[in-house]
A and B are shown apart, each in its own frame.
Chain A
């Protein structure tokens, strides 16, 4: 097993643009590689993507393996599994990390099964233990438990990482690294699925992950009309609207607003939870917010335990008063 070394990151690009999650994981891989004294390597797969390699070096990669081929232009399970397994079998990385995206979560288990190794899904933290093993930390049972998982006897150790939880390294324009082009062995007959079209849906993008201020509503909001009040508060603060699973499942707001274990992980500067009781499943997605404000009529709601500030009261009275007060404060600040 000692022949296995280095930490790899599968770098996802779509239409020759790097996915944010890949840079986040690269930042973490850098930290882990330094701790172990090995290299952090990026595996960049696609067609005409070599130009992206320099950026990966600036974000922390020591080595970028570029696997470039026309048949790799769009993601297919068969092609990507084959080229990555081929490379991993010959170079023997100790760890491979993937983003827990719609691509990463399709690809990583297929690779794990082919390489007969373990895989941990949707990790929210990673570390290296005293024996040099990768500690893979993830929520389980709807965020009610946090489990630490290892893969002691098989290699590579593999995990998918939840988008939005790791921090990108600061870009270092002066960083130097090695770009190695790999010639993949791939033919059309290796790919058993045919992509007929890729359709972009023109839905309004809810960018919760990058918002500085999020105002979220839960069961206590009572219905779609209640969310108008949440929207209004978000608007005066220049924030984005979030929601708990209960509100999404009730059909009051679309699922792209959902924060929590089954929704998005956010870490804004300010998170205002309105009518949200604070189920662990929700806290799993927003516990990293810098400042948490809770508005809830139940003084025993668990959300108050994790809040920096709380108001016990009826949100239909508190929020309109809060909106007025914020407008006042902004006026004063302008004067």
Chain B
């Protein structure tokens, strides 16, 4: 079984700070991690390989430093890694990202393609389905359980009020949720192999053979035209001191507003 896992290196959003003047992210000092649900995707791929044999290939599109994320994936148990890195890829929206990933994946053999459900920096959940369409294969999103039956999969897909059980033939693209598994920590041996024995292949736009007009900012149908910080301040009345008095004041206000 040949499995491809698409991962993204993201800033740990719980640590993100915004520059109040420029309204942009302060990336300095913010740790980068493998997007959490991409790790669930990777874990599942490695488990399937361990059970059925085959190969796990991880792919990411990003700057040079995204190599760290691929090394971590190799340490967890992936076999091969590709870093799609080129200035031409910068500023890509989900559509251009899917196009770039699809161009790489079409060069490889695969039975299964995994993505995480969504990345914590963008929260879009769009690249998976857009990639599946570009590859011309079916998709199942929001996957929480997978069983393999011959050349088909039986997967549970989460819905608002339960889940559905879907049968689908491979090749197929799945997006993983955190319900799917608990990702492993790399072993010492795994870390050693990831840095000493395994290779991260860096692929540029020309090596990919892709038209620079179709990737990055130029290949993106959408444009971000403004970013702002949310403004929600209210002139509130804050009570301090004696608990009894505070509570009486508050309840009086709520009664006046007919909220109690």
- Name A's B-contacting residues (CB within 8 A): 74, 77-78, 81, 101-103, 105-106, 108-110, 112-114, 116-122, 136, 139-154, 192-201, 205, 213, 237, 261-262, 269-270, 280-281, 283-284, 287, 291-294, 299, 304-313, 317-318, 321-322, 324-326, 328-330, 333
Contact = CB atoms under 8 A, between A and B. Distances in A.
B222 A150 contact: yes
Nearest to B236: A307
Contacts of B123: 121-122, 139-140, 142, 261-262
Nearest to A117: B221
B246 to A, nearest CB: 5
A140 B121 contact: yes
A277 to B, nearest CB: 12
B259 A308 contact: no
A201 B163 contact: yes
A154 B94 contact: no
Contacts of A329: 251, 255, 260
A128 to B, nearest CB: 14
Contacts of B130: 109-110, 112-113
B169 A198 contact: no
B129 A110 contact: yes
Contacts of B225: 148-150
B168 A193 contact: yes
B154 A196 contact: yes
Contacts of B251: 322, 325-326, 328-329
A25 B132 CA distance: 27
Contacts of B220: 118
Nearest to B93: A118
Contacts of B133: 81, 109-110, 113-114
A322 B126 contact: no
B124 A122 contact: yes
B95 to A, nearest CB: 6
Nearest to B133: A113
Contacts of A114: 133
Contacts of A262: 123
A313 B132 CA distance: 52
Given A110-B139, A198-B159, A312 B229 contact: no
Contact of B126 (A116, A119, A205, A333): A119
B61 to A, nearest CB: 16
B259 A213 contact: yes
